[in-house]
Structure 1
């Protein structure tokens, strides 16, 4: 006859810690509501799966390194055009573009919300089960350069393959040197048609010769990026300027009381 006292130990050995933690509470409820054995087991399994999903989401959100608070819910959509609002809503809700390894390229001057939009889409994708990594272009170049100097660039690129979406922020701030931009090109070529990139840039393609010192490399990089991509140009007043103006208006309103 099985001993009920060993159940918590058995559940932990089976790597079912949530079941082990909540089975007594659910047993009490099952007795009170006359649940059948299959109903009780189903309830235990639902708790275990829900906790696993919560832990998976927390783990993937941590590894994504997305800026805290920069979600689509906190973005000022009123500051961008209606068509762009619809586009972003579609990209966040219909993730077929990620499954097809398409890219998203966000252009615009500093302060219009490119980084916020990129991070917000990253958060939305993590919530839907995708693995995402956010990194500034300068940090990524340093990371890949170090790997190349250690003769491990191929390994570093393969390691990034686990992320369905790689968010590269501020590509325009990469320093112009062949050593630095060549690793960026190798990353773009490596992920071409295999995994998605979200890239923010404050320079149009016509000025990318300031990023890639070799014009042929610039053309080849752009060609791979745009082959399967959505291009979006954000414009308008700087977010920081708008925030400062609101602060001034608030101060004026307060001083008039």
Structure 2
């Protein structure tokens, strides 16, 4: 006759912490509702798997380093037009482009929501089970520069391979120096046809000589980025300007009451 007193220990050894925590309550329910043994086991397994999935999503969301609250649900799509909304909704809902290691390039002036859109797509992809990493271009370049100086650039690039999608925000803010742009180019070349990039930029390709001091390097980088890519140019009034105008209207309304 099995000793039920050892059950908590056995479940810990089997690494089933959720089953260990919830089996007494489920046992009571199973007895009350007349569940069979397979039904009880299925319920325990469902609880264990659901908790594992919750922890996995929480872990992947933490490592993604996405800006808090910047989801597609909180984005003001009315400011960018219906066509872009349909395209972005399709990219968020159908992740085949990620499986195919395609890129997404978001262009537009400051304040139109490029960073928000990129982060929002990142949140959607994490929810779908993909591993994502968000970083500003300047911080990522500094990270890779440090690795290169320590003769570990290849290891650093390989470490980023675990992310299906790498979001590089504000690429135009990379300093126009050989040291910085060389590691950026090596990253783009390394991920070519092997992992997706989401890149936001204030400048069109024609102005990328402000990023890459070597025109041949600029052409080579652009060629790799656009070979399998969706390009979207966002336009409209600055989000910050719209927020300021709403605040001012609210203050004026309050003062007139």
Match of 2:255 in 1: 255
Query: In the TM superposition, what are the counterparts of 1:1-257 in structure 2 within 5 Å?
Result: 1-257=1-257
Shift of 1:4: 1.0
- Moved beyond 4 Å, runs of 4+: none
Per-residue CA shift, 1:166-222, capped at 9, x if unaligned? 000000000000111000000000000000000000000000000000000000000
Q: What is the RMSD of the two structures over their aligned residues, measured on CA atoms? A: 0.4
List gaps (5 residues or longer) in structure 2: none
- Counterpart Cα distance in 2 of 1:193 and 1:150: 27
Aligned residues: 257
Shift of 1:81: 1.2
Shift of 1:5: 1.2
- Counterpart Cα distance in 2 of 1:237 and 1:226: 27
- Counterpart Cα distance in 2 of 1:98 and 1:151: 30
Counterpart secondary structure, 1:151: coil
Shift of 1:256: 1.1
- Counterpart Cα distance in 2 of 1:78 and 1:28: 52
**What TM-score do the two structures reach when normalised by structure 2?**
1.00
Counterpart secondary structure, 2:134: strand
- Counterpart Cα distance in 2 of 1:98 and 1:18: 32
- Counterpart Cα distance in 2 of 1:83 and 1:60: 31
Per-residue CA shift, 1:215-257, capped at 9, x if unaligned? 0000000000000000000000000000000000001111111
Counterpart secondary structure, 1:162: coil
- Counterpart Cα distance in 1 of 2:57 and 2:242: 34
Per-residue CA shift, 1:75-117, capped at 9, x if unaligned? 0011011110000000000000000000000000000000000
Counterpart secondary structure, 2:67: coil
- Counterpart Cα distance in 2 of 1:213 and 1:93: 38
List gaps (5 residues or longer) in structure 1: none
- Counterpart Cα distance in 2 of 1:83 and 1:242: 21
Shift of 1:8: 1.1
